[in-house]
Structure 1
């Protein structure tokens, strides 16, 4: 099922016993984050929390997708495995050759269903525009924006859906980039150099044009998931959202910047980034690696209007030492994008696992059908060049028979590893947030080829005295 608004999803979680309410007044400065972090560290991710009194006119909900069960409910399925089966069946139907006229005609209902996933524009205002604040009335201090950790540079919007447009094609991008509040009318815009938002920014700068931006929060939780998904550049995230919710996302035009946003979201912060302005200092920010990402310079976002529902709920997530909510978002991505990876990049891949301790893409384990010598090298090099997998730092490649989600099974294979033959080293693009690289966004990568290890005797691991990565760089 899909949800008509965020409150509808909250009510579903409450019926399912997946949400607790906090009636006491709590502060958005560190207190909400502390309580949320304690909840997220409970077995299975604990429960979602609705903070009813926040010192503002709006309640705050956190840990919304912070368990496998809540993640599945957010995506409208009883289990994430059901989603995997649906995607596998869809891709099989679309890609299987059609030999007869009947088989081709049988595709028509599917094509009709696919057409219904496309986002749709509607006239007039949406419920996200029931209350309109412009000019001096559009103050970010009205919102219960969180400060999560003591050394954070300030308050950060942590679950935003940032909408930008390609200035040449008009194609929309929806990304999730943290937003540090500087004052009532300006924020930072933390898009890394590798992100689509940053590419749009560079294009507007070259054209000497002001860049419209709209930040949406809330609505159907599938919108927030789609903003995090590793979609190909120039493919609309709301197409993925329409597929997941089995009905289109209805969009309305913003009042001051001309960008379309979901009609049923809770808040919209409208504005612009001027590429002619000097970038401003943003950060520090307590990150999912367990370290603070340091201050750096990013574009400044100027607020021109804030609109919201009358019954708006402010959604937020806490970023910190795993496990946090993002671990379950990453788990959904494993299930959703496994089939496309097999189809478009690596047909031999049978399973993909990104352990929570690896903080998403930093550590990944894949199981493959091994048929020839050097196949693990091919898989590693291909994945390191595929979309957001380019940020991967450590990759483990195992045989398809391996239960890759069992740490004990992987550890047994590692004890049989031959360092002279099974280590695949390289250098390449890494996450800008990686604090362990000498050059920001670039550094070493390592893959372990365990596809032959099961046939060996277990022995103490002995590393060579000197290990040469690809290219001979020490």
Structure 2
């Protein structure tokens, strides 16, 4: 079966996780308001079939739950995400096998990489090129691009693949960046200076060349997951997508530029960026919960070709306070990163990026503490382990016995194990994203590490009190007799019986 947006929509419908909205709706504000309410409640994906002024339906909230993110990656359970992370970790830092079984296991992983190589379709046979529009026929106004918030500077594309290529070595980059429509055939692109697309533009500028750029809209969601994964492995995003989806991505060459795009995309926009040509971008509703990017200057893309499938579907999303689709994707990526992070920083047993902290601003990591100062070392190692942790402001380090996904336990560790004068350290003047208004200087801010582990000598001269624990024999007896007490039907409001226990894995 061909993996594309339509096959995923079909899967969602079969699993009762797609709701078709037939009533007329407006792409300006109304679709986002409806979708946001569904996102807040963990509701189904939505397909708006009657968008005012357009023939094209709009799909949104497809990745609005972690369960659906797993489905997009061909997985049934979240635990499979860590298995994938283990595989990626071994590719990133392979070790010489000590046993035949280890050699066989690594050979299987390499075979998976070979299977994941992109598949090239013959020019002109790709579904994304069933309809070809060039020159003056390119009209972005024919696409039902959303305006999610009242003060947004314009309509924005938010869930497309942005594809560029290094002008020196020809290596492509695939990212997910926000694009704001400026006219019927132009858009501005917002990308951080550390991202691949921005690096490619700098190189093109130095070479005095225009940067070719393609925008693929409405792709298989697994491609979006791969493009959003900035893991430092020397593999292309297409290979990552193949590893994620267990099969090679079907690519085809663009009509007018030397780039390859997903063959089954709903839309493909082909254009160029002229060095130093910019447009006024923003404001826009951002994941931080504010309007960001107010009247910024951003690279301007001029499109000269648009191709699409017959009867295309427009896939989109929008940012804002969590929960949003990007937060669900981040939770899944968190599970993938975990084995990779353990391999990078061996003392870390687990880590968690709370959605409420925007899935990257605060991290909670656990360690099996063996020596004084280890918590600080672990925090510093975390910040440098992977590029996406550069903008993490707060790192809280706890003992491996703490369930880092239980906020009650984390707050208890902070309250009972931290002396602010000893256990809090701050690193000033670190690079930060410009959308963080808490930073006094744009793009520059501080990091805070908090050691919430049990202290050992010479971190403290005091003997640490023994933790309160149930008697194991009595606890086992109570568990066995729970129904006998007549308490089997009582709800405990999700309380963890091991809340203050030290046997939590």
Q: Which residue of the partner structure matches residue 121 of structure 1? A: 120
Deviation per CA, 1:135-158, whole angstroms, max 9, x where unpaired?
111100010100000000010001
Residue 37, structure 1, aligned to residue 45, structure 2 = no
C-alpha contact (below 8 Å) 1:171/1:234 kept by paired residues: no
Q: TM-score, normalised by structure 1?
A: 0.91
The residue aligned with 1:170 is 170
Call closer, same or farther: CA 1:403–1:304 in 2, change over 3 Å: same
Shift of 1:302: 0.6
Q: Superposition pairs for residues 5-16 of structure 1, below 5 Å?
A: 5-16=4-15
Residue 311 of structure 2 is aligned to residue 314 of structure 1: no
Structure 1, residues 293-327: CA drift from partner, whole Å, max 9, x if none? 02211110111111111132111112111111111
Q: How does 1:79-158 map to 2 (within 5 A)?
A: 79-88=77-86, 91=89, 95=94, 97-99=96-98, 104=103, 108-125=107-124, 126-158=126-158
Describe the superposition over 1:208-242 as per-residue Cα deviations: whole angstroms up to 9, x where unpaired: 10000001012211011112112328641111110
**What residue number does 2:453 align with?**
451
Note the C-alpha offset of 1:113: 2.7
Kindly indicate whether the alpha-carbon contact (under 8 Å) linking 2:84 and 2:336 is maintained by their aligned counterparts in 1: no
Q: 1:151 to 1:107 in 2, by over 3 A?
A: closer
Mapping for residues 333-372 of structure 1, pairs under 5 Å? 333-343=333-343, 345-372=344-371
Secondary structure at the counterpart of residue 76 of structure 1: coil
Residues 146 and 155, structure 2, Cα contact 8 Å, conserved in 1: yes
Q: CA deviation at 1:432?
A: 2.0
The separation in 1 between residues aligned to 2:89 and 2:275, in whole angstroms, is 41
Tell me how far apart the structure 2 counterparts of residues 16 and 150 of structure 1 sit (CA, whole Å). Answer: 34
Question: Partner of 2:397: helix, strand, or coil?
Answer: strand
* CA deviations over 1:274-302 (Å, ceiling 9, x no partner): 1142x221000011111100221111011
* Counterpart selection for 2:58 from 57, 60, 63: 60
Report what 2:247 is aligned to: 247
Paired with 1:388 and 1:110, the residues of 2 have a C-alpha distance of 25
| Compared CA separation, residues 225 and 3, structure 1 to 2 (3 A) | farther
Q: 1:182 is matched with which residue?
A: 182
Note closer, same or farther for the CA distance 1:384–1:47 as it changes in structure 2 (3 Å cut).
same
Partner of 2:376: 377
Compared CA separation, residues 90 and 61, structure 1 to 2 (3 A): closer
Counterpart of 1:410 in 2: which secondary structure? helix
Separation in 1 of the partners of 2:111 and 2:338?
25
Of 54, 67, 70, the match for 1:69: 67
State the Cα distance separating 1:442 from its structure 2 match: 1.0
* Structure of higher CA gyration radius: 2
Residue matched to 2:440? 438
Secondary structure of 1:223 counterpart:
helix
The secondary structure found in structure 1 opposite 2:331 is helix
Give the TM-score taking structure 2 as reference length: 0.85
Q: Which stretch shifts more, 180-189 or 422-431?
A: 422-431
Equivalent residue runs for 1:296-307 within 5 Å? 296-307=296-307
Partner SS for 1:181:
strand
Paired positions, count: 453
Cα distance change, pair 234–195 in 1 and its aligned pair in 2 (3 A) = farther
3-state SS of the aligned residue for 2:190?
coil
RMSD: 2.1
What stretches of structure 2 of length at least 5 have no aligned partner? 457-463, 468-505
Q: What is the distance in 1 between the residues matched to 2:7 and 2:141?
A: 26
Maintained 8 Å contact 1:36/1:318: no
- In structure 2, distance between residues paired with 1:99 and 1:230: 30
Change (3 A) 1:369 1:282: same
Task: Give deviations 1:345-392, integer Å, cap 9, x for gaps.
Answer: 211222121111111211111112222221222222222223110010
- What corresponds to 1:470 in structure 2? none
What corresponds to 1:422 in structure 2?
Answer: 423
